[in-house]
């Protein structure tokens, strides 16, 4: 097992001067996920469900408020500084909007070279690695001398992928990897991610509000709602036999890779997390929107349980 997340909670405290009560916002609650070598795990859910926060925790960019994250059986937040840096080197994160994470004054060569220099890679080895990665993401050697603004969105995403992979990480998180791209090139970038995965020893986490991406790329899926895991299953089981009413709703409203207007975005709600003071909630988090609720759903909080082999769900209809 590569990762084990155990009882992870993440609470963000609002830093507003006027917020005297300092109410927290619970972005993630009781997350338990195992990731095995070679997995491509999909994290789905609407905006605000905690997907990006979860991805960041898995690469050490955010610290959980409670709970543990083990990487190769080591608690990553208990590592020495040196070992934590080593861990971070073996992981990588592609941000939702890669363009804003590029320094516009840096040429592609410098963007790719910088992490190699910082990690003490010799000059000739650097050139070898850059040539190899440029080839892997299907850019041209002459592109190395250009600046990010000289590329199309799809090519910029290729640069972001190249930079994320330049140090040969073992684990890659891609946060909404195609949502900022034109429809015509979304499929190309997905195909590229798949090819890169097949050629390397990567384990990946794909974050998306769009189920079709996850169906195409992932072997396992976790459905998040208001920071809670609602369902977890192998991809084929989730799509052939969705159990949770929220998953069913997501699948019904899932766009295809090629559709412009997505019903999934219509489902987004701006305030979809729960207030920290409400985390001891005594009812199902999906109660308000659920069309299948029963009396019990407003009286107690459902635990997530395995109802079929490797298929877990948080819903009283299965308890
Ligand atoms: N750094 C932060 N400070 C305060 N609140 C945050 C921060 N990052 C995320 N949040 C809040 O946590 C919740 C989950 O956010 P996020 O993980 O970005 O969800 P998603 O990626 O599913 O849209 C949201 O309500 C968001 O506003
Ligand atoms: S526990 Fe009840 S309210 Fe929640 S999803 Fe299941 S049926 Fe709906
Ligand atoms: Mg996000």
Residue 235 lies in a domain: yes
Atom 8 of ligand 1, residue of closest alpha carbon: 53
What pLDDT score does 105 carry? 94
Question: Which residues fall within 8 angstroms of residue 39, CB to CB, at 6 or more apart?
Answer: 2, 203, 204, 219, 220
Neighbours of 319 (CB within 10 A): 12
Residue 158 lies in a domain: no
What pLDDT score does 270 carry? 41
Residue 254 lies in a domain: yes
Residue 79 lies in a domain: yes
Query: Is-contact 205 221, C-beta < 8 A?
Result: no
Query: Which has the minimum average pLDDT: 149-158, 207-216, 237-246, 250-259?
Result: 250-259
**How far is the C-alpha of 296 from the C-alpha of 199, rounded, in Å?**
49
Instruction: Give the distance (Å) from ligand 1 centre to CA of residue 175.
Output: 13
Residue 148 lies in a domain: no
Atom 7 of ligand 2, residue of closest alpha carbon: 293
Taking Cα atoms as reference points, which of 209, 187, 190, 186 lies closest to residue 198?
A: 190
The stretch 6-16 carries a mean pLDDT of 87
- How does the average pLDDT of the chain come out, rounded? 90
pLDDT at residue 138 greater than cutoff 80:
yes
Taking Cα atoms as reference points, which of 205, 153, 151, 215 lies closest to residue 179?
A: 153
What is the CATH number for 10? Answer: 3.40.50.300
Residue 215 lies in a domain: yes
Question: Which residues fall within 8 angstroms of residue 125, CB to CB, at 6 or more apart?
Answer: 116
Q: Is the CB of 273 under 6 A from ligand 1?
A: yes
For residue 273, give the ligand 1 atom closest to its CA: 25
pLDDT at residue 272 greater than cutoff 80:
no
Q: Which residues have beta carbons under 5 A from ligand 3 (an ion)? A: 52
Return the best residue to mutate from 42, 45, 50 for the ligand 1 pocket (most ligand atoms within 8 A of CB): 50
Return the best residue to mutate from 15, 16, 27 for the ligand 1 pocket (most ligand atoms within 8 A of CB): 27
Which range of residues forms the domain containing residue 190? Answer: 3-14+22-90+169-318
The stretch 171-188 carries a mean pLDDT of 93
The stretch 192-216 carries a mean pLDDT of 95
Query: Which has the minimum average pLDDT: 42-51, 80-89, 137-146, 178-187?
Result: 178-187
Residue 118 lies in a domain: no
Residue 98 lies in a domain: no
Domain count across the chain:
1
pLDDT at residue 313 greater than cutoff 70:
yes
Give the up-direction half-sphere exposure of residue 82: CA atoms within 13 A in the CB hemisphere: 0
Instruction: Give the distance (Å) from ligand 2 centre to CA of residue 309.
Output: 21
pLDDT at residue 4 greater than cutoff 90:
yes
What pLDDT score does 254 carry? 78
What pLDDT score does 143 carry? 97
Q: Is the CB of 12 under 6 A from ligand 1?
A: yes
């Amino acid at each position: 097992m590569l990762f084990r997340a155990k009882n992870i909670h993440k609470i963000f405290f609002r830093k507003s001067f006027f917020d005297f009560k300092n109410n927290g916002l619970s972005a993630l609650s009781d997350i338990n996920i195992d990731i095995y070598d070679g997995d491509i795990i999909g994290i789905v859910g609407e905006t605000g469900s905690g997907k990006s926060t979860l991805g960041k925790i898995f690469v050490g960019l955010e610290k959980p408020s409670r709970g543990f994250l083990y990487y190769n059986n080591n608690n990553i937040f208990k590592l020495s500084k040196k070992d934590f840096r080593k861990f971070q080197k073996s992981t990588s994160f592609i941000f939702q909007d890669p363009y804003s994470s590029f320094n516009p004054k840096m040429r592609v060569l410098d963007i790719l070279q910088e992490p190699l220099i910082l990690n003490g890679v010799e000059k000739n080895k650097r050139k070898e690695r850059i040539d190899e990665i440029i080839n892997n993401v299907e850019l041209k050697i002459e592109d190395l001398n250009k600046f990010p603004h000289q590329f199309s969105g799809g090519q910029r995403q290729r640069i972001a992928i190249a930079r994320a992979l330049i140090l040969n990480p073992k684990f890659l998180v891609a946060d909404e990897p195609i949502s900022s791209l034109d429809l015509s090139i979304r499929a190309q970038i997905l195909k590229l991610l798949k090819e890169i995965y097949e050629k390397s020893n990567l384990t990946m986490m794909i974050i998306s509000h769009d189920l079709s991406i996850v169906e195409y790329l992932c072997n396992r899926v976790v459905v998040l709602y208001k920071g809670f895991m609602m369902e977890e299953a192998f991809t084929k089981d989730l799509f052939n036999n969705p159990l949770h009413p929220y998953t069913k709703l997501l699948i019904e409203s899932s766009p295809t890779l090629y559709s412009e207007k997505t019903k999934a975005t219509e489902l987004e709600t701006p305030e979809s997390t729960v207030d920290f003071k409400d985390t001891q909630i005594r009812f199902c988090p999906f109660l308000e929107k659920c069309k299948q609720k029963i009396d019990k759903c407003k009286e107690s909080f459902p635990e997530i349980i395995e109802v079929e082999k490797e298929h877990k769900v948080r819903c009283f209809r299965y308890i």
